[in-house]
Structure 1
């Protein structure tokens, strides 16, 4: 069968190659690949920045934003042929730390976890794949065009869980949320904020294209003015940062109102040096009892939360997040950004 593969840490090695057909082991589902989403992580691996092939292999099958349809399932697995499923990305380490042993493998303490399509295990960008039934999540059949959005939705489901956990250290009834960045993570964070009944504001740098309309049609407000100015006006209870911009991250640290919670979800590149007033940021965080928390990855609980959120969302709105689709044999086109891209998808069928 065909799969999108890369030689980790080797720029220019991205290719669609022949790989062996998968065989399901005990307790595993055999799944026909439908599609995978492409994100910054995939592009960074393709650029040779990081990535780890499975032991004994020189190449890694990419793809962690999965969507597939069950071909075969064990009788006692809880799954049936034709079920629409997504595979969980992370696996706990073989000698689990305390967090991994309790199912909180997104919070692994020792870094010995593995990740499908990223670190030590092949991903889902192939015409067929297998997954342990315990690491598969069933989706509403109506999501067959957009189910690859589940993995990024789990990232923001966890982010919201973290915000609410931090806020609960005292009385916390947030009303206003500011999301910085209107990419897939930012838009999905806004979706979950709207589903919570909050007054949602989204900040991005563009004034035209599909993003402003997507935000407005969600029932949120769109802004393209400076973050510090907007934050002064809104005094948001919650800030969710999703731009990946070092400058925006620094401004976001002090962007919330009193007793605000800022959740950083983007991974910024290293090597860029900025001047900022650390004393002023520290003073504001301390005197206003603010909190800043980082959040990455997701566990099974967040996958189920994300699946429920997508099932409740407007399907036409979700479809509009997928702005470009390419077939597997032309998957390299998904790794070159185009104007107005939001979520780019590789179709595997």
Structure 2
């Protein structure tokens, strides 16, 4: 069968290759691959910045944002042929840390976890794949066109859970949220904020294209003139930061209401300098009982919450997030950014 694979240690090695058909082990589903989403993590692996092939192999099958349809399932697994499914990305380490041992492998504390399409496990960018039933999530059949958004939605479902846990230190009933960045993570974070009944504000840099319209269709407010302007009339109780841009991060950390919670989901590039008044920022965070927390990855609980959020969402709005669909044979086009891109999907 065909799969999109590469040598993680060799930039420019990405290619469609022939790989053996998957043979499901006991307790595993055999799944027909329908689509994979493309994200910044994939681009960094392609560039040779990180990524690890399975032990004893040179090449890694790419793809961690999956969507597939079950071909066969073991008896008693809870799945059946024809089910629409997504595979969980991360697996706990073989000798689990405390978090992994308690099913919270998204919070692994020793770094020995593995990840499909990223670290030591083949990804989902193939015409078929196998997955243990406990690491598969069933989707509503109505999500057949947009279910590939589940993995990034699981990331923001976890981010919102982290906000709730941190806010739960005391009485916490947030009213306003500022989402910085209108890429897939930011848009999906805004969607969940709207589902929670919050006053949602989204900040990005573009002034036209699909992003402003999609934000307005959520009933949210779109901003493009920077953090200070976005919070001028109403300080947010929550900030979901999805840009990874250092200047935006520091401004957002100092822009919240009292007892504000900032959840960082964007990964910053190293090596960039920024002059900030860290003393003033520290003073504000301490005196206002603010909190800043980082969040990445997700476990099964977050995938299930994400599946519920996608089912509740307007399907036409979700479809608007997928701005390009590229067939596997033309995979190079999927990794060449275009101005109006939000989410690019490879069809398998």
Output the TM-score relative to the length of structure 2. Answer: 0.99
Quote the RMSD (CA, aligned, Å).
0.7
Is 1:322 aligned with 2:322?
yes
Deviations 1:243-296 (A, max 9, x none): 121221121221211100000001111000110000111011001000000000
- Which residue number in structure 1 is paired with residue 124 of structure 2? 124
Name the CA distance, whole Å, in 2 between partners of 1:85 and 1:255: 40
Aligned 8 A contact 1:4 1:15 in 2 = yes
In structure 2, what is the equivalent of residue 2 of structure 1? 2
Q: Distance in 2 between matches of 1:278 and 1:252?
A: 13
For each residue in 1:180-214, what CA deviation from the matched residue of structure 2 results, as whole angstroms up to 9, or x when unmatched? Answer: 00000000000000000000000000110000000
Structure 2: distance between partners of 1:225 and 1:124: 39
1:283-298 to 2 correspondences below 5 Å? 283-298=283-298
Q: State the SS of the aligned residue for 1:268.
A: coil
List runs of 5+ in structure 1 lacking aligned partners: none
- Secondary structure of the residue aligned to 1:234 is coil
Look up the SS of the partner of 1:284 in the other structure: helix
SS of structure 1 residue aligned to 2:231? helix
Q: Is the 8 A contact 1:158 1:302 kept in 2?
A: yes
Q: How does 1:192-341 map to 2 (within 5 A)?
A: 192-341=192-341
Runs of 4+ off more than 3 Å = none
Instruction: Give the aligned partner of residue 160 of structure 1.
Output: 160
What displacement does 1:234 show?
A: 1.7
Distance 1:207 1:128 in 2: 40
In structure 1, the partner of 2:68 is: 68
> For 1:255 and 1:137, how far apart are their aligned partners in 2?
37
Distance in 1 of aligned mates of 2:235 and 2:180: 14
- Aligned residue-pair number: 348
Q: Residue 325 of structure 1 contacts residue 346 of structure 1 at CA under 8 Å; is this kept in 2?
A: yes
Aligned to 2:106: 106
What corresponds to 1:49 in structure 2? Answer: 49
Q: TM-score of the superposition, structure 1-length normalised?
A: 0.99
Return the offset for 1:229: 3.0
Asked whether the 8 Å contact 1:232–1:255 carries over to 2, the reply is no
